[in-house]
Amino acid sequence: MPRFALKIEYHGAGFAGWQRQKEHPSVQGAVEAALTKLEPGPHKIAAAGRTDAGVHALAQVAHCDMAKDWDAFRLSEALNYHLRDMRVAIVDCAQVDDDFHARFSALERRYLFRLISRRAPLTHDHGLAWHIKKTLDRDAMQAGADRLLGRHDFTTFRSTICQADSPIKTLDELQVEQIAIPNGTEYRFHVRARSFLHNQVRSFVGTLERVGAGAWAPDDVTRALKARDRAACGPVCSPDGLYLAGVTYPEDPFG
């Protein structure tokens, strides 16, 4: 059975997350349903990471096994036809070796979080960014972010329902970018690691927003990290601004 890697873009609003669920719409369920329109199922696909309800993706990667030896371009076109009303799109597709696994072959995941500061409510970016009204101190947020880099016990920044075996992870990048936009300022948080804990990125951003607002000092981030206590975390921010931005493999499956 030929195996195909799918690069998937989706708008997370209206989905209960990536993972298939019996009673709620999911991105995985939408793609598997589209595959069933092409070949008899059941189809079970695996993805690089499970995104939560409301979280978006620019480049989620999944793999599927097909009975027919599809041309990769025609497979993506056929899937997009059946996904056309779902706010889900296959932006690239490639046949891969049988030992390729979207999750287990991945070397790292990259996330983007968008936060927009402006007085007026969001219109075009509604649901696509976290909206606050106050301007933040980017340098202070970066100073706080730098405290989180490296290998740590991230219990403080881990959801209480996280199913990971260990809270110890290595954070390779947490860069805060400030961009002037019409009528406001956008802050982009670029986050990179091999793997993440449940709600880890949203916990980081919610905490760093407190630093940028002046409610916390950068050193307070260190104290929160060392506390290894979920109660020491800042507020967990909205999922609206979070995007799975990319996945790295030993060899790019899409060339």
Residues labelled catalytic: 52
CA–CA separation, 255 and 231 (whole Å)? 44
